[in-house]
Amino acid sequence: MAKLMGGLATSHIPAIGGAIHKGIQQEPYWKPFFDGYPPVQNWLKNAKPDVVVVFYNDHGLNFFLDKMPTFAVGAAAQYNNADEGWGIPTLPPFQGNMALSWHLINHLVAHDFDVTTCQEMLVDHACTLPLKLFWPEGPCPVQVVPICINTVQFPLPSAKRVYALGKAVGEAIAQWPSDHKVAVVASGGLSHQLDGERAGFINKAFDLEFMDSLVSNPEWATQFNTLELVEKTGTQGVELLMWLAMRAALSSASGRVREVHRNYHIPISNTATGLMAFSVD
């Protein structure tokens, strides 16, 4: 059976892609952010996952407001990036793993998750930037299965439901008849609000409590309903649901979940940026 070997979570912001493209990672504005990643990159060089399942939210590239699935799973051989209008370079295509995609889809539907299956799927900065941050050199060395969770248009899935989805994904990975090593990636958060009266809102105390909860009490954030999460984290901060899905997936793996590394830095653009890595020992 496949081995679920760990989980990673990071914020995503289009400007990160611009900074990588310009090679300005060591400038004072960017250094405290980018310095978080080498320990995780080095850990990944040893741990070497073959495939990553990426929980992220599409921002209008693949799904627009006219058609918005709550949960969508990629089932393509290849995922293309495209111009999102942020002025960031378009990255080369990412290779999928269709066997894992269909295994996940079958498992999720059999366990009452009514997912949308996507045999074509454009992937935006939320899917591509974490891969670039974790594997900065050359083409992405891992295969990818993207899972979109709607945090863009109400109604959003509850934290409880997202946790259940993540748990089911973890169970499915553990039952996948394959000798692949699989990692789960979360892309989004932490607290930020891009528009409205509270534009620029950041909640450091909540972010840090949330990060701690993922180590010792991963279901902690499921006590909050969606409006409470928006209040505490901002309208875009609800992207932290991806972190919850990732951590829930690890909770169903056999093995001890151990924190490998973390970083937290405020702000990049409008966002409180977080990074966490967990291994399953």
Interface residue with ligand DHB, options 62, 213, 263, 271 (CB under 6 A): 271
132 binds ligand DHB (CB under 6 A): no
Site string for ligand DHB, 61-100 (x = CB under 6 A): ----------------------------------------
Which residue is catalytic, options 103, 125, 180, 265? 125
Stretch in the footprint of ligand DHB (CB under 6 A) among 24-32, 76-84, 158-166, 263-271? 263-271
What CA–CA distance (Å, rounded) separates 271 from 27?
Answer: 18
Residue span binding ligand DHB (CB under 6 A) among the ranges 43-51, 106-114, 246-254, 267-275: 267-275
Nearest-CB residue to ligand DHB?
269
DSSP assignments along 147-204, one per residue: EEE--SSSSPPPHHHHHHHHHHHHHHHHT--S--EEEEEEE--SS---SSTTTT---H
Cα 151 vs. chain centroid, distance in angstroms?
Answer: 12
Burial zone of 252 (CB within 10 Å; 0-12 exposed, 13-18 middle, 19+ buried): middle
Sequence-separated (6 or more) residues with CB below 8 Å from residue 188: 11, 12, 55, 56, 57, 126, 151, 239, 240, 241, 242, 243
| 3-state SS, residue 280 | strand
Query: Which residues share a beta bridge with 258?
Result: 279
> Measured in whole angstroms, how far is the alpha carbon of residue 233 from the centre of its chain?
17
Specify the residue, 49 or 188, whose C-beta has the smaller distance to ligand DHB: 188
Q: Which of 3, 59, 161, 265 is close enough to bind ligand DHB by CB under 6 A?
A: 59
153 is a site residue for ligand DHB (CB under 6 A): no
270 near ligand DHB, rule: CB under 6 A: yes
Residue 148 binds to ligand DHB (criterion: CB under 6 A): no
Mark whether 103 is an active-site residue: no
12 included as an active-site residue: no
177-196 footprint of ligand DHB as x/- string (CB under 6 A): ---------------x-x--
Q: Does 223 bind ligand DHB (CB under 6 A)?
A: no
Q: Which two tokens stand for residue 250?
A: 């690890």
Tokens 């409590």 sit on residue: 209
Stretch that binds ligand DHB, among 9-17, 34-42, 94-102, 247-255 (CB under 6 A): 9-17
Contact footprint for ligand DHB (CB under 6 A): 12-15, 59, 192, 194, 236, 239, 269-271
The catalytic residues are 125, 192
